[in-house]
Amino acid sequence: MQNEGAVTAITAKRLTLALCAAGVIGGAVGAIAVNHNNATAQAPATVAAAPAPVQAPPAVAGAPAATVSLPDFTTIAKQNGKAVVNIRVMGTTKTSARMPQVSPGDPFYEFFRQFQDPRGSQRDAPVFGAGSGFIVSPDGVILTNAHVVQGASEVTVKLADRREFRAKVLGSDPRTDVAVLKIDAKGLPTVPLGNARSLQTGEWVLAIGSPFGLESTVTAGVVSATGRSLGNDSQVQFIQTDVAVNPGNSGGPLLNTRGEVVGINSQIYSQTGGYQGLSFAIPIDVAARIKDQIVATGKVQHAKLGVSIQDVNQGFADSFNLDSPEGALVANVERGSAAEKAGLKSGDVVRKVNGQAIIGSADLPGTLAVAKPGDKVALDVWRDGKIVRLNATLANADDKPAVDEREEIAANDKGAKLGLVLRPLEPIERRQSGIAAGLVIEDARGAAAIAGVAPGDVLLSVNGKPVTSVDQVRDMVGKSSKSVALLIQRGDDRIFIPVRIG
């Protein structure tokens, strides 16, 4: 089990994305498990004076006077704080039992050697961690983060009324970092779930949790952005806030001013492992879908379209005659996938899904994160200067993809004659390179490699005859007895390379 509070480097400037669950290895009571050197336990801070009222800007002549007032979170904290829980976890990790470093000449060498296991014995060492969660059902169903309970052998839930229960992990989904717990209790307070899609930048929100083990802590701030992709292969489009979130807040609720949960506090963006004004929450829409699946079946299924995508920059927008650099550019379509069956092609730009605009490429997987296998989606695709409507039935992300064409080529050719692994040029590659037809050489082995053919070359012809398919190449090579002449495009140069076969 990982030490909750470990930080993961995500930028060249050593900024870190910290998972917000305070963990302690070895069970040192009261220690703060944040992975930085200057963290110290502080005495409780005195309550700051109430902030001065916000002054309204000067009134413009002829315009009604505007007033600005700060929200009062006391009612929300009092009512919904009862449904926020503290989560403690315990697990084990393997550690080596090693002999102290003493040299053979040391008088204590023989004494210590008799206790040393020559096989390098290991023993189980306890690992402790902590986080937050919130009750969504009166019969004890609790939502939290998957990373809070990852690797846990024992999970204890402490309620706001100080009662404690042993919890069962009903299920966990690392892809969205959502987990569902169940405790044996009835008539528990719950929090209402809101709609994260209605959130607006600048809207007030607050978090309730147990940062550094300090239970029932309330912090507030505003929504900094929505639909934020963190570039870590997550399907989640996070809610970014400036709410103070620290290790131990993980799994706690993010609430709007109506007292509705709009997100699960999950990650922070930090140089030190502590709060620096960048906090990220999982939208409750995504978490609720995961919860419903886990409660119903004990597992989670994710939908899959079957494309690899990239951002549309200004250069691509100009190339494809787009009015703005928006959308998800389809770089590759997986064979046998939902995308291929729907008619998507490499070079298409997905602009909308079910009428929802796709601005950046991360919006596409983020939009599909709330879909289920078998769901039908309408895709508005920019192709050849116009919008084309395609309808796709989403597949299951756990299904194994069809064998890639280039793998089939390698299996059939087996490198016995040419030793080439080939695939057709994608439409976008044709546009960028200016090559009308040919086959990309993905790998060169055996005779081809000896002759000087290299991965990344484009095969244009064999024995003077243009080739556009792998079958053509196999046929021509099969009819040749000693050697073949390959016309290769390498950068801006075209060269013939003779290759002996056999």
Catalytic (active-site) positions: 147, 177, 250
Strands (E), 27-121: 84-96
Per-residue burial over 320-352, b = 16 or more CB atoms within 10 Å of its CB, e = otherwise:
bebeebbbbbbbebbebbbbbebebbbbbbbbb
The phi, psi pair for 79, rounded to 5°, reads: -80, -50
How far apart CA 114 and CA 442 sit, in angstroms, is 57
**Distance between CA 63 and CA 61 in Å, rounded?**
6
CB 8 within 8 A of CB 17: yes
- Which residues, 6+ apart, have CB-to-CB distance to 242 below 8 Å? 221, 222, 224, 277, 278, 279
- Rounded distance, CA 424 to CA 346, Å? 12
Measured between alpha carbons, how far is 232 from 139 in angstroms, rounded to an integer? Answer: 35
Cβ neighbours of 61 (radius 10 Å): 5
DSSP character for 324? S
Going by their DSSP bridges, the two strands 386-393 and 376-383 should be labelled as antiparallel
Residue 86's nearest CA partner among 217, 255, 262 is: 217
CB atoms within 10 A of CB 368: 21
Q: Is 368 helix (H, G, I), strand (E, B) or coil?
A: helix
